[in-house]
Structure 1
């Protein structure tokens, strides 16, 4: 397949913006004061993020619905995408994540104004650990992202030129995988498992005029970037195990 890098960029941007709009939106609905979904619980967040992935995958099949630099790293290592496609995807994912986060802010503007806790506001945009321990938080993100990328490589989702092989069913498989990771491994760090998902909205938090927002916690910000990239790379290296036999 000949790839139009402009369309490739747009595909990844739209998909990642959709991912962050719906994923960030469910966190806002559960966390912010006076919303209809306030205190809906972590399981609602898990399912909301899973469905956000489903929607993002459906609208970005031209580029293989990567939506995540960790997935892109895994695909690059396995040779499923080339260097040009990799760098275009990374740029699009970061821009799309910022756009999605801004849209969440606009949708919940009055609730951000009413929310008294700066940490809760930041939590809508980016992840943070339940117990802060840089080394162990990093390990959690590596493990969770390895699971994500290794399983995605296992059923072939995100291959350039094929998109999601089973259409909506393939997108559903990715969505359920994300729900499972959140339910199983999301407790310690909030399971960023995606550098763009965390960094893009954190940038948006820093630049948006959010009333009483407080710090963007840049001291933690490297963990949900570096951990997923390592996890994705390990998955890409381990991918030949998927074809044994």
Structure 2
């Protein structure tokens, strides 16, 4: 007999893999040399990430709640919307899915890394970075973006949705956050989405890569966790 939490965790692995494969994939297409999408810009990235999240949710929702984000899982657990016993399995699955998704992006664009000599662009394909490096401002950006995300996800649970359309609403939400709040830090708003691919960047033999910017790497982990808790608690007290 299947353990329901482990079945749901499998969904988290699959969904986060799809999310990162398609999300980091659009960044790679825009950023890497000799890609047919090179130079398509922020609009392509924001829309691509919104679609990536939508499809990630669809790919996981038949197995579980499709959080695909430790900040969502922790925020929901804090207000009693998710059991604490499932938090660790979910986060492990999300991290593994993000790592594998990033590794697949590396393979998909394999010839293009050698053609690309901008180390920041290569890292940016995997992980986020600030437009202006100012830790407190960067932390606030990630906290605010994730608070909006989690608050809205909880609000969606109270709305009237035609069956099967909720993931499209989530994708619209991610796109809106990207357009409106994402220009400061690249809007990780998801610890797994940043840390898993950053680890992949660190360990994979990617041509022309530089450092993985671990001095910044704590911000897209800590900020989203704080924001997820803040968004969930604000929703719970309204």
Tell me which residue corresponds to 1:84: 85
Tell me which residue corresponds to 2:50: 50
1:23-63 CA distances to partner (integer Å, 9 max, x unpaired)?
00000000101101100010110000000001100011122
1:117-149 CA distances to partner (integer Å, 9 max, x unpaired)?
111100000000000000100001101110000
Can you give the 5+ residue segments of structure 1 that lack an aligned partner in the other structure?
158-164
Tell me which residue corresponds to 1:233: 229
Q: How does 1:88-103 map to 2 (within 5 A)?
A: 88-103=89-104
Bigger CA drift: 165-174 or 79-88?
Answer: 165-174
1:135-192 CA distances to partner (integer Å, 9 max, x unpaired)?
10000110111000000011129xxxxxxx7543100000000000000000110000
Q: How does 1:202-221 map to 2 (within 5 A)?
A: 202-221=198-217
Bigger CA drift: 233-242 or 135-144?
Answer: 233-242
Are the equivalent residues in 2 in contact too, given 1:130–1:187 (CA < 8 A)?
A: yes
Can you give the 5+ residue segments of structure 2 that lack an aligned partner in the other structure?
none
Given the two structures, how large is their TM-score scaled by the length of structure 2?
Answer: 0.95
Quote how far apart the aligned CAs of 1:9 are: 1.5
- Structure 1 residue 32 corresponds to structure 2 residue 32: yes
Q: How does 1:165-204 map to 2 (within 5 A)?
A: 166-204=162-200
RMSD: 1.6
Quote how far apart the aligned CAs of 1:98 are: 0.1
Cα distance in 2 for residues equivalent to 1:151 and 1:68: 14
Q: Counterpart of 2:214 in 1: which secondary structure?
A: coil
Q: Give the direction of change, closer, same or farther, for the CA distance of 1:203–1:8 in structure 2 (3 Å limit).
A: same
Q: Give the direction of change, closer, same or farther, for the CA distance of 1:228–1:92 in structure 2 (3 Å limit).
A: same
Are the equivalent residues in 2 in contact too, given 1:8–1:88 (CA < 8 A)?
A: no
Cα distance in 2 for residues equivalent to 1:8 and 1:115: 38
Given the two structures, how large is their TM-score scaled by the length of structure 1?
Answer: 0.93
Q: How does 1:5-154 map to 2 (within 5 A)?
A: 5-61=5-61, 62-154=63-155
Cα distance in 2 for residues equivalent to 1:13 and 1:99: 9
Cα distance in 2 for residues equivalent to 1:112 and 1:18: 21
Q: Counterpart of 1:74 in 2: which secondary structure?
A: helix
Quote how far apart the aligned CAs of 1:241 are: 4.0
